[in-house]
Amino acid sequence: MEPIIIVIVLAIIIGLVLLYYVRINAHEVKTDTANYQAKEDLAMLGRLTTLPELACPRSETVKTYCIDLLKAQAFASMMGDARSGPASKVYYNPVLGATNITLRWYDLAKPPGQMAQQLTIYSNLRDSTRVRTTTTYFTAFEPVNSTRQFAMLIVERQS
């Protein structure tokens, strides 16, 4: 009788240890997934800053984290909906993936209600229910007037 009770107690202890181990492991997997997604988002922002289709001219003093507004407008009109068009299917879909990229810049010379302007540069988000958003700050360069404006780049990606 006593050996049976000892076996049952040991089985319960082993079961609790396994349950605790599984919970810790699941938490580590979630943390690793979140870290991987954050690194993936930073890599996406890095790819965006190196695209010559969006980058500021080399003669400009601010070279990193700078987007040329005229280039961005031309890129957005060329892309339209990223799911159509041969250029997007061949090059941009594999590079940028399932994302929405929006540039929001602020003209501080305008009245407060009219300061913000927004442009969707790239739109290829397939499922809008599971989206993670990354926002970073850029300089928006307007080459016609040679002005720089505060800008935010908003990248929405599939989770």
Look at residue 88 and tell me if it is in a domain: yes
Per-residue model confidence as pLDDT tens digits over 62-76? 667 788 899 998 888
Q: Is 148 within 8 Å of 59 (Cβ atoms)?
A: no
The range of the structural domain enclosing residue 107 comes to: 12-18+21-158
Q: With respect to residue 3, please indicate whether it lies within any of the assigned structural domains.
A: no
Tell me the pLDDT tens digit for each residue of 115-139: 788 998 888 887 777 888 888 888 8
* Number of domains into which the chain is organized: 1
pTM above 0.75, yes or no: no
Residue 132 inside a domain? The answer is yes
CA distance 126 to 157: 9
Count of CB atoms within 10 A of residue 22's CB? Answer: 10
